[in-house]
Amino acid sequence: MRKTEILAYTAGIIDGEGHITILNKPDCRSRKVQVAVTNTNEWLCQWLKMQFGGRVYTWKPYQKHWKPAYRWILEFNKATDFLQLVLPYLNLKRAHAEIAIAYQERRVMGKRTDNQKALDEADRILIAKLNKRGI
């Protein structure tokens, strides 16, 4: 596949199976951009890792008759670098990607002002609303 075909194919995977979010890090004082794809096809997640880096985790099934699931994850700058590559090809998750990219571009080392914290929280809430299931 050519690079443009890989990016278009990957954007389709993100639109259909992917998740773009801004998560609280475990210390709860900071946040991170995360892109993830969860699927029962291990090959798909390993292929994404080979193409774009990141990590693949295995989720053991809760029920005996369920298949194991695999999750490919990119975080922080790697996630937003990836999103900038696939952004021209995204449809359903385009707004998610744009918010995540804008959020990460504002990130700088050092103490955050109250205004910056408010913008970060607004982006986190907005992307959470976009990710909400149901009506």
pLDDT(125) > 90? no
d(CA 18, CA 135): 20
> Tokens 């504002």 appear where?
106
> CB under 8 Å to 20, separation ≥6 — which residues?
14, 33, 34, 35, 79, 83, 93, 96, 97, 100, 127, 131
pLDDT attached to residue 25: 66
> How many Å separate Cα 65 from the centre of its chain?
29
Residue that wins the pLDDT comparison between 128 and 56: 56
pTM of the model: 0.85
* Domains of the chain with CATH codes: 3-131 (3.10.28.10)
Residue that wins the pLDDT comparison between 22 and 25: 22
d(CA 25, CA 118): 17
Residue that wins the pLDDT comparison between 124 and 84: 84
> Tokens 């890792």 appear where?
49
Candidate from 42-51, 70-79, 82-91, 114-123 with smallest mean pLDDT:
114-123
**Residues 35-62: pLDDT tens digits?**
999 999 999 999 999 999 999 999 888 8
Best CA proximity match to 39, nearest among 22, 56, 55: 56
pLDDT(135) > 60? no
pLDDT attached to residue 117: 80
Candidate from 7-21, 82-96, 112-126 with smallest mean pLDDT:
112-126
Which residues face 31 on adjacent strands? 24
